[in-house]
Structure 1
Amino acid sequence: MRSTIHQPSPDVSLSDVLEGWVDAGLISPEQSRAIRRHEAEGHAAGSPVARATTPEAGPSLVVEALGYLGGVVMLVGTGILVGMYWADLSVPLRLVLIGATALCLVGAGFAVPDRLGDAAGRLRSVLWAAGVAATAGFLGVFSAEVLDRYDEHALVVIGPCTALVAGILWWLRPTWLQQLALFVPLMLSATGIGMELTSTSSSWGGAAMWAVAVAWAALSWTGRLEPRTSGVAMGVLGAVLGAMTIASDVGIALGLATAVAAVVAALWDRSLPWLGVAAIALLWTMPRAAGAWFPGALSAALTLIVTGGALVGAAVWVARHQGGQPPS
């Protein structure tokens, strides 16, 4: 008696396969989300699903390389053209050129065939991220030349509208690059709104940036903003940057508390990438805190030595315990 094993078709996405398994009762919705998160973080190169759906790498890599090379050549040519004639172009023509560029980049991302496998995903992510950047450029020209809004007043227009486009593209393909393309305009939006409601000399712009970044990290931690690893990392770094723009002891305390919380999260999750991000956060915040609260070269040096020693110990602990389940 022969048994037939049905391999997934190369044209069927992982989401379709998982939805079918959930509908059939083979896995739970929680398990489906865990698999999606695992695949999105790039750990599935040797998994059965990846082996079954990954085509030959040769043609895919050639297409991917040609796509990147073509994009770079287009950017160089556009830069030369802009440098030569930008001042002579009318505002409507400037908007048409930038808008057409954004549409072409996003459309090219949609046109990349899925049969190219992982290369298609990477190329699509790059094209969409470039399309989001072009969208921000379009909105910048529109805000300055049409709406006559500059500086933080322009951020209120550029940030939310760019985030809307980036959010749609992230929803279609939740990769770390689409995350970054969404995270940056959200941070700009928070800064612009904070300054718009108060003043450019206040610290509310930095406080708003810190709050948005912390919320982003929390949502990523719970798995609602995938990929989880890159999402938490972006949130931590964004929160520290926001705290550093607050010119008071409150900003120092917020930055230091954020860095320490990042270390705790890395140890709890036994994640070396998060521990690396926490180390960067501490390197940004500790010198400022030492200089403000413990003046003097000796105290600053001792603070950095103690911090570095603690980070080395944490790295060794995570390395020794990596692979186990986090504490419940």
Structure 2
Amino acid sequence: MQTTELGHTGTQISRLALGAMQMGNATSEPDSIHILNRYLEIGGSFLDTADCYEWWATPGSRGGESEELLGRWLRAGNHRDEVFLATKGSALPVHSPELWAADGTPDWDRARRTFAGGGATVLRDALDGSLRRLGTDHVDLYYIHVDDRVTPLEETLETLAGFVRAGKVRHLGWSNVYTWRLERIRRLCSRHGWPLPVAVQQQHSYLRPNGSYVSVSNAEQLDYLAEHGDQTLVAYSPILKGIYDDPAKRAGHSAMSAYAGPDSDARLAALTSLAGDLGVTPNQLVLAWMMHQDAPTAIPLIGPRTIEQFEAAVPALDLKLTPEQLELLS
């Protein structure tokens, strides 16, 4: 497993990050532990979770199942010093029975209207809860999970700075955020001497978005991050729920809503052709392509639901692409 620097911090992080969103729910505890152990075995260390994972999986849940499972695994194997541990706050919705329909499906519209946000008290309580569930006195990276445009940025940033001063957090990050907000955050941090968020977690993949989606990194944001090497892009959903391997699966799939069009058709054709020439899957080729990017550097964050999905991603680590192959894909 190769590593790369997180921003300009001097801290090295794995070139492939492992997301634990489904661990403890869709992924059973035995399978989750198998994946975590296997990830360490191949040299990985960058683990990602959030306090809200996965409230939507069970009516009445307040999230935290993923953090609790990670906490048990960290303690059982004494793994805390072996991992770079990231979690997030601000995205847990206000509890209400109306968050779930009678059939148990979550009401995402209501959830998005009632996210906890980035207020000082909310974040303090969220971080303390995360530390308790994870069984640690600090996390290596703490994100604002959903950008809160109601709470003053000064309040959120000052609170986050306090977490760093207290030693509860080593580095800060921001997720699901527009580029103009990143610039405003940068200016406030510079003005007040607050620590700059050094990780930006967005949905990012090989396909280029065809519109402006706050959660998806567009051309402007990629250009901004390429100009500001002190912030590293952490790319969630890098293989868009696995749609690259299966034309039937991506037909009408919700993951394609931000990408569908002739540009994507051309890129899919190039990707599929090269994957066939190399004897790899398109999903593996997307992960390898992303790990070759340096303008900006992008850390693919995989979130396998099964052991088989995890193992299917591993060969991407050994796939070396030539400049000509990278140019073809671009």
Q: Which has the higher contact order (CA 8 A, sep 6+)?
A: 2
TM-score normalized by the length of structure 2: 0.30
More strand by share: 2
More helix by share: 1
Larger radius of gyration: 1
TM-score normalized by the length of structure 1: 0.30
